[in-house]
Amino acid sequence: MRRTGTTTLPLHGGRAPRWLFERMVKLAGGITKVLVYEYGQEEFLRRVADPYWFQAFSCVLGFDWHSSGTTTTTCGALKMAIDPGELGIKVAGGKGRASRRTLGEIEKTADTFSLSTDNVERLKHASRLSAKVDNNCVQDGYQLYHHSFIFTEKGDWVVVQQGMSESYARRYHWLSDRVESFVEEPHTGICSDKIEKVVLDLTSRDSRETREGSLELIRSEKDLKEYLRPAKQKLLTDFEAEGFSMPAHHPILDIDITKQGMRVLQKAYEIQPENYEELVSLKGMGPKKIRALALISDLVYGTQPSWKDPVKYSFTHGGKDGHPYPVDRAVYDSSIQTLEDAIENAKLDRKDKYYAIKRLKDFCVV
């Protein structure tokens, strides 16, 4: 049974101090090695894709349950801690500019993992489209600023990305073996502070007819503008020839209505996308145009999209900002050493499959 709920992720000022982040990297590496050695790469990806496990993992590293940086710093620690050559796992992307280097990092890791050209293109497609879907198809008011793409030598992947709205963040989780469609229920979970009153969720099953209607509008031989007026009724653009000026923006559809604004839709018609995923993938097909197609589909075909928010807490070593208590460096170092010892012993004695986990249990009792 899947667990659902909400979690608060407010943004705080400051950053993890160097002494703490260095320990985060060591502890993140130790936990990752235990998971991979005991359960395999796939299980590590499944856990990272679980919003609850990821949140608990962040708190073990030194965050209180709603610290700023829970996502960005944890992913950054994993990126520094994981050696692709040793574990067969690569953490690409990150915050801001680092997110724009994701595709290049995938390509650079291809030789290390002996990935075929098809696999590399498939991974790049997953990275691009997951970001575009969460920015454009889940219109919740949160702008993406962090994108971590974690993949294995076998081509499996997970996405952990985050958007920001004013002083709050919202995190989106994806897992490759759970994605049957990039545009319908693709997430393993979405974490946020609150359930927004109005969210246009075109990834919902309830929006299936709207997606089909939007695709039909683009592929139709009838000019898209014809759907915006009853028969024999003039469009506002018809008055331009008579000397009237047009506004640059449509206040209801929230879309540019100039010729330049319609150019992307015209190009989409010329390409004739085979499915909604291909439509969303087109260059220039942003949230405003996707939303306009959804609203027009409602007007023309009576399809009603989902307006329901799809959104869905753990202390161990204290929090980086001193809540609920300051991080105890000695205890933190002891945790790292315990993990390192467990990993080394697990390597030496594979007869006991759960040796490392038993050592972790001893550590937890302490």
- CB count in 10 Å sphere of residue 64: 20
Phi/psi for 306 (5° steps) reads -80, 130
The string of pLDDT tens digits covering residues 47-76 is 999 888 888 888 788 765 445 578 898 999
For the question of whether the overall pTM of this predicted structure is more than 0.85, the answer is: no
Q: Which tokens is 350 given?
A: 């594979």
Q: What is the mean pLDDT of residues 160-175?
A: 90
pLDDT band at 138, cuts 50/70/90?
very high
Q: What is the pLDDT of residue 249?
A: 52
φ, ψ of residue 284 to 5 degrees: the values are: 90, -5
Q: Which of 148-157, 216-225, 292-301 has the lowest mean pLDDT?
A: 216-225
Rounded distance between C-alpha atoms, residue 310 and residue 307, angstroms? 9
Query: Which residue has tokens 């702008």?
Result: 143
CA-based radius of gyration for the chain: 24
Amino acid at 178: R
Mean pLDDT of 76-82: 96
pLDDT at 223 > cutoff 80: no
**Residue ranges per structural domain of the chain:** 18-195+311-365, 205-301
4-43 per-residue burial string, b: 16 or more CB within 10 A, e: under 16: eeebebebbeeebeeebbebbbbbbbbbbbbbbbbeebee
Enumerate the β-bridge partners of residue 187.
Answer: 174
Buried b (16+ CB within 10 A) or exposed e, 327-345: beeeebeebbebbeebbee
Degrees (nearest 5) of the Cα angle 342, 322, 163? Answer: 85
| Whether pLDDT at 23 is above 60 | yes
Residue entry with tokens 């502070």: 193
Average pLDDT rounded to a whole number, residues 196-208: 94
3-state secondary structure 69-106: CCCHHHHHHHHHHCCHHHHCEEEEEEEHHHHHHHHHHH
